Amino acid sequence: MSGVPAIAAEGAEVVLDGTTLLAPTTFSVMPGEFRCLTGSNGSGKTTLLRAFLGSRRPTGGAVLVRGEPADMTRHRQRRLLASLVEPVPVARDMTLREQVTLVAASWYGNTTTTAGRAEEIVGRLGLTALAERFPSQLSSGQLQLFNLALTLVRPADVVLLDEPERHLDTERVDLVVTLLTERARQGTAFLVATHEAVVVEACDGVVELG
Ligand SMILES: Nc1ncnc2c1ncn2[C@@H]1O[C@H](COP(=O)(O)OP(=O)(O)OP(=O)(O)O)[C@@H](O)[C@H]1O
């Protein structure tokens, strides 16, 4: 395991027009570590995740990806980091299978293994029977699983998730937790904002805000 954290915050703070969105926060997540981000409503979890993605600029301190200031305009960082924080754009006129395969192909190329990668994640998230449907034909929980499939099908050393449990029943939460734990064991670093006790129990440690 490399000594450089996959991601880190060093006194990261976000203040907007005199309002503190994120109080100074310091932590690191090592490769293969599954950390949860917890705290009450409004404590700054989404703001912190957005700081890594560049949609909220820290006004103090720093957020780092592999020791460098987070900057998702750099291709190298975009390749390292996948996220389900902002709404994922979906195509209304493409099936689930087509869209997950398209995302896989955009990162891995149109190789013989690409369709297999897409099929695997669709299966792991229990979406195989729905793979020929269009997004408008899904329930809220099924849409959330589809968004997770689009996020997890691509290569990533670090994955940021904002409340992945959203709209999911207990069985599906367990499914997602199992998948994240497995990916972490394979070396992926996770930072997961959550209010779900099952997710917190499964993770390696908590970053508590507020
Ligand atoms: N554009 C904005 N202007 C002012 N304050 C904002 C703005 N956006 C968010 N905030 C405030 O920033 C704080 C942090 O919000 P954030 O969404 O990061 O919290 P959170 O911990 O993710 O909350 P939740 O658990 O409810 O999802 C909140 O107090 C919120 O009211």
> Model confidence at 210, in pLDDT bands (50, 70, 90)?
confident
Give residue 19 CA to ligand 1 midpoint distance, Å. 10
> Residue 165: phi, psi to the nearest 5?
-75, -5
Q: What is the pTM of this model?
A: 0.96
CB of 63 within 8 A of CB of 70?
Answer: yes
Domain regions of the chain by residue span: 7-208
Q: Is the CB of 25 under 6 A from ligand 1?
A: no
Q: Is the CB of 45 under 6 A from ligand 1?
A: yes
**What pLDDT is attached to residue 2?**
58
Interatomic CA distance for residues 151 and 159, integer angstroms: 8
Interatomic CA distance for residues 3 and 14, integer angstroms: 27
Interatomic CA distance for residues 209 and 39, integer angstroms: 5
Task: Name the packing angle between helices 140-152 and 170-185 (round to 10°).
Answer: 10
**Which residue's alpha carbon is at the smallest distance from atom 17 of ligand 1?**
46
CB of 20 within 8 A of CB of 14?
Answer: yes
> Is the pLDDT at 1 greater than 70, yes or no?
no
Mean pLDDT of 170-192: 98
Q: Is the CB of 38 under 6 A from ligand 1?
A: no
Domain 7-208 sits in CATH at 3.40.50.300
